């Protein structure tokens, strides 16, 4: 297998624990290079736990995690270098409120490179132009709309030109128009920059149209992995309940389950 044939992500027999509790088990998954993969599932199903494993925040209890053919390292220095190849868009944006838009985007470049300031300024300008916010360089995060702030966070995540982008609920708190803009940007940037993208989301209808692969996690395991069309046509009861938003089914609603436990 040549390097170009090596998948961006390969999970093999993966088990992830939090303390003594197993969150996910027996995960086998391949994410091809250049693809967009949506990771779907009900709240508390382990989507964020999976992201923690991809970035090295959480070590595998069993099995393996490979990113571009390399196992996720454990040493602090090796892990730092590994993470430079992964851009993460947080659902809360994580922008520094006392920094301007340009300063927020420049921060990863100033921290992790020895590039001269004029070159950093040019890169920042390029990243802002890529997300359609070139004129917002001197604004502060508090002066931005929710959609604009999300695009600034996206530009910062791309600052080091990572080949892998991870999006953690990128549409949280956005109106339909802003959501459409973000989804369009994710698709456009993935194609134009040759990225691989993993989107953790519960916004099914907004996300599936731009994806190559859909993954569904529920009850601690991988229930489905395939094309978006195949997901929508799946006969699996777990998948059908989630896609239709049905309160009754094999996936328990947390508050109902809690109430029953208390009543018992």
Per the model's pLDDT, the better-predicted residue between 16 and 258 turns out to be: 16
pLDDT at res. 249: 67
pLDDT at res. 52: 92
pLDDT at res. 217: 93
Return the percentage of the chain with pLDDT > 70, whole number: 92
Distance CA 149, CA 27 (A): 34
Using DSSP bridges, classify how beta strands 36-40 and 21-31 pair: parallel, antiparallel or unpaired.
Answer: unpaired
CB 110, CB 120: distance < 8 Å: yes
pLDDT at res. 25: 94
Beta strands in 141-186 (DSSP E): 164-168
pLDDT at res. 259: 40
CB 214, CB 38: distance < 8 Å: yes
Q: Is the dihedral of CA 52, 202, 215, 87 positive or negative?
A: negative
**Contact partners, residue 254, CB within 8 Å, separation at least 6:** 43, 44
| pLDDT-based confidence at residue 248 (cuts at 50, 70, 90) | low
Distance CA 177, CA 65 (A): 36
Q: Is the pLDDT of residue 104 over 50?
A: yes
| pLDDT-based confidence at residue 4 (cuts at 50, 70, 90) | low
CA 15 from chain center: how many Å?
A: 19
Q: Is the pLDDT of residue 88 over 50?
A: yes
Distance CA 61, CA 14 (A): 8
- Domains of the chain with CATH codes: 34-51+75-247 (3.40.50.300)
Distance CA 160, CA 112 (A): 9
pLDDT in tens, 184-217: 999 999 999 999 999 999 888 899 999 999 999 9
Q: Is the pLDDT of residue 83 over 60?
A: yes
pLDDT at res. 257: 39
pLDDT in tens, 121-179: 999 999 999 999 989 999 999 999 999 999 999 999 999 999 999 999 999 888 999 99
pTM (two decimals): 0.88
User: How many C-beta atoms surround the C-beta of residue 211 within 10 A?
Assistant: 23
pLDDT in tens, 231-244: 988 888 888 888 87
pLDDT at res. 202: 86
- Determine what percent of the chain falls in helix, strand and coil, rounding each to the nearest 5: 40, 25, 35
């Amino acid at each position: 297998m040549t390097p170009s044939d090596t998948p961006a992500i390969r999970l093999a027999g993966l088990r992830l624990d939090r303390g003594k509790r197993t969150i996910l088990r027996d995960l086998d998954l391949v994410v091809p290079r250049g693809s967009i993969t949506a990771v779907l599932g009900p709240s508390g199903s382990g989507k964020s736990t999976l992201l923690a494993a991809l970035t090295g925040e959480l070590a595998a209890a069993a099995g393996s995690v490979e990113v571009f053919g390399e196992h996720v390292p454990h040493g602090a220095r090796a892990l730092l270098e590994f993470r430079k190849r992964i851009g993460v868009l947080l659902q809360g944006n994580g922008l520094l409120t006392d920094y301007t838009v340009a300063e927020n985007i420049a921060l990863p470049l100033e921290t992790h490179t020895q590039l001269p300031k004029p070159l950093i300024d040019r890169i920042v300008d390029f990243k802002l132009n890529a997300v359609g916010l070139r004129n917002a360089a001197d604004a502060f995060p508090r002066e931005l709309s929710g959609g604009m702030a999300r695009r600034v966070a996206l530009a910062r995540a791309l600052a080091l030109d990572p080949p892998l982008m991870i999006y953690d609920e990128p549409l949280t708190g956005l109106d339909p128009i802003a959501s459409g803009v973000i989804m369009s940007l994710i698709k456009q940037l993935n194609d134009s920059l040759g990225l691989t993208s993993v989107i953790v989301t519960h916004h099914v209808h907004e996300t599936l149209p731009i994806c190559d692969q859909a993954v569904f996690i529920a009850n601690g395991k991988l229930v489905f992995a395939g094309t978006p069309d195949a997901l929508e046509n799946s006969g699996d009861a777990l998948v059908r309940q989630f896609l239709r938003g049905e309160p009754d089914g094999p996936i328990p609603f947390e508050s109902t389950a809690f109430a029953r436990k208390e009543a018992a």
